[in-house]
């Protein structure tokens, strides 16, 4: 192990996703088995003690790749020199809270975090926003980091992608690894569009293999799009281990690349591709190469997909307009 450790900042470190995520980072699953990591945990002051408890357990894991843990309640310190930032901590929606209140409360978190990343993160900083509303929180953070290339801000739809893989694997009775070129479009919300049109399974077209448009529209799409709510209903808590696993997948792929001929899904800054307004952080089919996510170009979009993409992207535009009105971007 000769490489210098990579600094990884995790916000919301004392939360339930943090608890599932940190041990996997420490064991080398975020960046690979040859890359040592240094953890920088950010929490609100009331949760610092709980984060200290998690750090004690991380110590007790005796992970060979974990070269240190620091805990902060100040974003400026937490993001100083960081290479990878996982923005997990967010303000959850509580009873009686309107959508605007939620966006405003999260603006109070993601604006200072964007500023702190701008001020002190390493030049190769890569940011993944997990905390909801993830796409718009990423947009807020990006807006306050003008010196960081915009394509370094991403939001997580890999969990939706993995959920879609799992549903298709069950439907077709094939291993998830046989299914390629699946794509989640738009917002990480119930309007998202999981698209199978260009997918493949064992080299054959995925939509033809499924051959059941009623199942796609009435079962597959709603199951994937509403899975978060179904998990809350069943567990009494929102998805945590699966969300942590998807965050690991998102960063691992970003750094190590997609397989030749395959895609994944990530919410990245739109360059106007497929009519998605430039500047929105929207999920697209993406490849990763040389440490960069790129939107897959040139796909034919059928009428059904167009309608679904327009709806979810329309919701993103509304969220952008709302945070613009609140002066958060």
Ligand X SMILES: O=C([O-])CC(=O)C(=O)O
Annotated binding site for substrate: 93, 99, 132, 163
> Interface with ligand NAI includes 316 (CB under 6 A)?
no
Q: Judged by CB under 6 A, which of 6, 7, 10, 15 binds ligand NAI? A: 15
Helical pair 303-325 and 99-120, crossing angle rounded to 10 deg: 80
Which residue shows structure tokens 């390493």? 122
Those residues with Cβ within 8 angstroms of residue 306's Cβ, 6 or more apart along the chain or in another chain? none
> Interface with ligand NAI includes 138 (CB under 6 A)?
no
CA distances from 41 to 4, 47, 126, 157 (A): 19, 11, 16, 23
> Interface with ligand NAI includes 140 (CB under 6 A)?
no
* Distance of alpha carbon 137 from alpha carbon 93, whole angstroms: 14
The DSSP output letter for 13 is T
Question: Which of ligand NAI, ligand X, none is residue 231 near (CB under 5 to 8 Å by kind)?
Answer: ligand X
Question: Which of ligand X, ligand NAI, none is residue 14 near (CB under 5 to 8 Å by kind)?
Answer: ligand NAI
> Interface with ligand NAI includes 89 (CB under 6 A)?
yes
Question: Which of ligand X, ligand NAI, none is residue 186 near (CB under 5 to 8 Å by kind)?
Answer: none
Nearest CA to 255 among 41, 64, 35? 35
Per-residue string for binding with ligand NAI, 36-75, x by CB under 6 A? ------xxx--x----------------------------
* Distance of alpha carbon 156 from alpha carbon 7, whole angstroms: 20
* Distance of alpha carbon 131 from alpha carbon 173, whole angstroms: 33
Q: Judged by CB under 6 A, which of 6, 8, 10, 17 binds ligand NAI? A: 17
Count of chain residues binding ligand NAI (CB under 6 A): 27
For residue 53, give the H/E element and its range: helix 48-60
> Interface with ligand NAI includes 229 (CB under 6 A)?
no
Rg (CA), the chain: 19
Sheet order of strands, 281-289 included: 66-72, 37-42, 6-11, 84-87, 126-129, 153-155, 264-269, 281-289, 292-295
Q: Is 144 part of the annotated catalytic residue set?
A: no
Binding residues: 12-18, 93, 99, 106, 113, 130-132, 163
CB-nearer residue toward ligand X: 204 or 235: 235
Catalytic positions: 188
Footprint on this chain of ligand NAI (rule: CB under 6 A): 11-12, 14-18, 42-44, 47, 88-90, 92, 109, 130-132, 134, 156, 159, 188, 238-240, 243
């Amino acid at each position: 192990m000769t490489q210098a450790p990579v600094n990884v900042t995790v916000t919301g470190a004392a939360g339930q996703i943090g608890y599932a995520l940190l041990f996997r980072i420490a064991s080398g699953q975020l960046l690979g088995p040859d890359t040592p990591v240094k953890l920088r945990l950010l929490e609100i002051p009331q949760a610092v003690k709980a984060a200290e408890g998690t750090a004690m357990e991380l110590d007790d894991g005796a992970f060979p790749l974990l070269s240190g843990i620091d805990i902060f309640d100040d974003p400026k310190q937490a993001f100083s020199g960081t290479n990878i930032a996982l923005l997990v901590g967010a303000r959850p929606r509580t009873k009686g809270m309107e959508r605007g209140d939620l966006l405003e409360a999260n603006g109070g978190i993601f604006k200072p975090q964007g500023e702190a990343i701008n001020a002190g993160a390493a030049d190769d900083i890569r940011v993944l926003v997990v905390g909801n509303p993830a796409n718009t929180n990423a947009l807020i953070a990006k807006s306050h980091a003008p010196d960081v290339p915009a394509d370094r801000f991403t939001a997580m739809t890999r969990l939706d992608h993995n959920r879609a893989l799992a549903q298709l694997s069950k439907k077709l009775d094939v291993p998830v690894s046989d299914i390629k070129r699946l794509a989640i479009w738009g917002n990480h919300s119930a309007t998202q569009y999981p698209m199978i049109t260009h997918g493949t399974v064992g080299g054959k077209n995925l939509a033809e293999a499924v051959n059941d448009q009623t199942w796609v529209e009435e079962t597959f799409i709603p199951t994937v799009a509403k899975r978060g709510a179904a998990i809350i209903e069943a567990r009494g808590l929102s998805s945590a281990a699966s969300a942590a696993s998807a965050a690991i997948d998102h960063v691992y792929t970003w750094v190590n690349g997609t397989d030749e001929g395959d895609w994944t899904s990530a919410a990245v800054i739109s360059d106007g591709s497929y009519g998605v307004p430039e500047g929105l952080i929207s999920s697209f089919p993406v490849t990763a190469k040389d440490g960069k996510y790129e939107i897959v170009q040139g796909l034919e979009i059928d009428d059904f997909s167009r309608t679904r993409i327009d709806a979810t992207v329309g919701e993103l535009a509304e969220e952008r307009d709302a945070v613009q009105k609140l002066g958060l971007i």
